[in-house]
A and B are shown apart, each in its own frame.
Chain A
Amino acid sequence: MMHSTESEIIVEGNDLEDALAAASERLGVDRNILEYRVIDSNISGIFGLFKKRKITIKAWWRDGGHALQEAEQFLLGILSHMRINARVTGKETAEGLTLIIDGDRDGLIIGRRGQTLDALQYITNRYMQRDQTRKTRVILDCEGYRRRREQTIIRMAQNIARKVKRTGKSVAAQPMDSSERRLFHLALKTDRDLCTESHGEGDKRRVVVYPVKK
């Protein structure tokens, strides 16, 4: 099965050739394997005087599934060092590479409130992005944990929303990472009686729900 992964950059140049040359240099790959899309091209100047051309392209290279395999191998390596028997199935999704772990100790792999799964995901991302030109994003899941967690967050948001409306006072949720906070904000986005904001730094950052005074 062939997989492909994009690692894209946006570059400017005086013309297409120029922009492609810059892209190939920045990505460190031969320009023959570059693919690109023109984002913006304009000619500025008055009545053709001082004519200056500029083109902006988005460029990426296809690496034929190398990234997916690399991520799978790396993760399997960690799991085997943890003495966990597991299978890892990878697939490409809109959000990046998704690796699904299917093992004999799923509880251990997930950890309390998903912290082990998050740690494994973080390390795998650091590994995949170790040379800064690659932006491959990896998502790990185990036993459908991510979806269950999604539902938990939406339920939590709804419970807090009810409490805020009942008491007329703001309520802070427990600290969550950025993707979870995003879900939380989205869950209450359409509610006009409330507004949500994130406060705090680092791993203490949490969503606070406020009543909207009328």
Chain B
Amino acid sequence: MMAMKELIKYIAQALVDNPDKVEVTEVEGEQTSVIELKVAKEDLGKVIGKQGRTARAMRTILSAASTKINKRAVLEILE
């Protein structure tokens, strides 16, 4: 599941102004993994986006990637 974490980190770091403040942790469950994303406060808007579109796009990409390994992954953005 390392790959899922790296995928989110890669995207988030590309979108924010403070890539060094991006932290991604993974809470692994039996069937579902929770990917927790934390960014600098001023970058929150960049990973959430207008009407949550950026967050939704990241979730869509994450679920496509996790289909390949037959395990569900959900993205949570921590505030």
Contacts and interface: CB of A to CB of B under 8 A. Distances in A.
B10 A78 contact: yes
Interface in B5-64: 6-7, 10-11, 14-15, 46, 49, 51, 53-54, 56-58, 60-61, 64
Contacts of A127: 14-15
B68 A120 contact: no
Interface residues of B, number: 22
A122 B67 CA distance: 20
Contact of B65 (A82, A122, A123, A202): A82
Query: Interface of chain B, helix or strand or loop or mixed?
Result: helix
Interface residues of A, number: 22
A120 B6 CA distance: 16
Contacts of A126: 15, 46, 49, 54, 57
A111 interface: yes
Contact of B7 (A78, A116, A119, A202): A78
A81 B49 CA distance: 22
Contacts, number: 64
Query: Interface of chain A, helix or strand or loop or mixed?
Result: helix
A109 B61 CA distance: 9
A168 interface: no
A81 B65 contact: yes
Given A78-B7, A78-B10, A126-B54, A115 B49 contact: no
Interface of B: 3, 6-7, 10-11, 14-15, 46, 49, 51, 53-54, 56-58, 60-61, 64-65, 67-69
Interface of A: 74, 77-78, 81-84, 105, 108-109, 111, 115-116, 118-120, 122-123, 126-127, 130, 202
